[in-house]
Amino acid sequence: MRNRITKAVIPVAGFGTRLLPVTKTQPKEMLPLVDRPAVQYVVEEAVTSGIESILFVTGRGKRAIEDYFDYAVELENELQNKGRERLLEEVRRIVEAVDIFYVRQKRPRGLGDAVLRAQRFVGKESFAVLLADDIVLSPVPCLAQMLEFYAQEPAIYLAAMPVPREEVSQWGIIKGKEVAPSLYLVEDLVEKPAVEEAPSNLAIVGRYLLSPSIFEAISKVSPGKGGEIQLTDALKSLLSRERIYAYCFSGKHFGVGDKISYLKANIAFALRREEFAVPLREFLQELLEEGGKP
């Protein structure tokens, strides 16, 4: 039988400070890209890749995520009564697509700590972690590309991509040896290094295939960069015992965790939609001709 991963964890308990003030009352994962919240694209990627159950690691102020992935009885009745079948199907589709579980991270102590909350859900299986901050558009979903490698050789896999040198200090960076096209055996990992200390420009993107050994590793790491329990530090401590690969996926990456990336992603996603492409292109053209001012 092929090696399979069927469980995914999506941590959504962070404060989203880079997007304040809107994230004061609105989870950043619920901010829309055109007409769908960012987290929906990630859930859809997981489902299309064959994931059967998803655990959201949530926190205070994240109720909107639970409601979004649940039936909305009054709304659905209203759509039904008005014969708005297509919309009804659209709002129901994502609710029915997958089994969703929730656990609370009582305080956002870092991504590593959020992943540790998934220990009971995961048990002794390998599992995927997806971050709603990172959205990848590609004919074969990024997670499915990684799962294909896992099927051939079970190990830890991290999605990676080259970033401009001057941006390395915003990312977790790997040092690795290319062992197959786009596949690197990781030798070292550094969270947000200074430009002069970065071992490469290969950044870790928010898709991981992890083994359950990560839980013990996380519970042993001390708070790292920013006083947070870093997943990167736990991965680093596993390097001597487990094979960790970084895979440069094919596809286009959009970050949605900071303001400028979020704005760019919204425009790009809208331009990809048939119904908006022409009017939006015309509007942008007009705006640019007027010197960018409305």
Straight-line distance from the first to the last Cα atom of the chain, in angstroms, rounded to the nearest whole number: 59
Nearest Cα to Cα of residue 190 among 205, 208, 169: 169
37 binds ligand UTP (CB under 6 A): no
* 21 three-class SS: coil
38-97 binders of ligand UTP (CB under 6 A): 57
12 binds ligand UTP (CB under 6 A): yes
257 binds ligand UTP (CB under 6 A): yes
Candidate residues 9, 11, 215, 232; the one interacting with ligand UTP per rule CB under 6 A: 11
15 binds ligand UTP (CB under 6 A): yes
Q: How far is the C-alpha of 183 from the C-alpha of 256, rounded, in Å?
A: 25
Which residue type does 140 have? V
Q: Which is nearer to ligand UTP, 17 or 48 (CB)?
A: 17
101-120 binders of ligand UTP (CB under 6 A): 105, 108-111, 113-114
Select the residue whose beta carbon is closest to ligand UTP and give its number. 14
Q: Which is nearer to ligand UTP, 12 or 202 (CB)?
A: 12
Choices 69-77, 131-139, 171-179, 235-243 (CB under 6 A): range interacting with ligand UTP: 131-139
159 binds ligand UTP (CB under 6 A): no
* Helix/strand/coil percent split, the chain, to 5: 45, 25, 35
Q: How far is the C-alpha of 171 from the C-alpha of 204, rounded, in Å?
A: 7
CA 268 distance to own-chain centroid: 18
**What residues contact 67, with CB distance under 8 A and at least 6 apart?**
none
Q: Which is nearer to ligand UTP, 79 or 209 (CB)?
A: 209
